[in-house]
Amino acid sequence: MTRPSLFSRLDRGLELLLYYLSALLMIALTGVILYAVAARYLFNNAPAWSEEVPRVIFLWVTYLAIAVAVRRGQSLKVTLIIDRFAPVPKLLLELFMHAAIFVMLGYLIWFNVPVIELNSQTKMLASQWSDAVRYWPLTVGCVLMGLYQVRLLLKTIEEFRQGSAKS
């Protein structure tokens, strides 16, 4: 039995970190919302941060969980038509789709960085957190999705090579 490479161990470790961090954030989100609802309706004293904090947690958990889904290849992909293509046109179409995803991720990061910089100068009213904390999840999530998209691209090429070798 071969020992997993350092890269595959780091890859798996990052996936588990993101998975459990997402789960922890979901638990935190549930707890914060339950606390805010109880404080509002049972004690008529909702915390001032009861709208800001859940929104920030929700953004972080969303983008981290999307990265985990991309890592696991669970993102939406309709293959009904693609699977009917011959190997080379199928490869070219899939390479085009990967390129389109990289362009989209780059676009999102490129235009989100100035938003982060602008909002890092202000604070949210109730929590006093930097406003940038609401915009970082998009950039972090896009970087993680980009890393995992590279894996999927390499997997696509490898599957093409294996299919060509069998022919």
Residue 138 lies in a domain: yes
Residue 19 lies in a domain: yes
pTM (whole model) above 0.95:
no
Interatomic CA distance for residues 35 and 25, integer angstroms: 15
Closest CA to 32 of 47, 12, 43: 47
pLDDT mean values, one per 10 residues, the chain (167 residues): 79 90 95 93 89 94 91 75 86 92 96 96 92 95 94 90 75
Residue 1 lies in a domain: no
* Domains: count for the chain: 1
C-beta of residue 63 within 8 angstroms of C-beta of residue 135: no
Q: How many CA atoms lie within 13 A of 135 on its CB side?
A: 20
Residue 26 lies in a domain: yes
Residue 125 lies in a domain: yes
Residue 57 lies in a domain: yes
Return the pLDDT at 12.
87
Return the pLDDT at 1.
59
Element (H, E) at 150: helix 136-166
Residue 81 lies in a domain: yes
Return the pLDDT at 3.
74
Domain with 77, as residue range(s), is 6-166
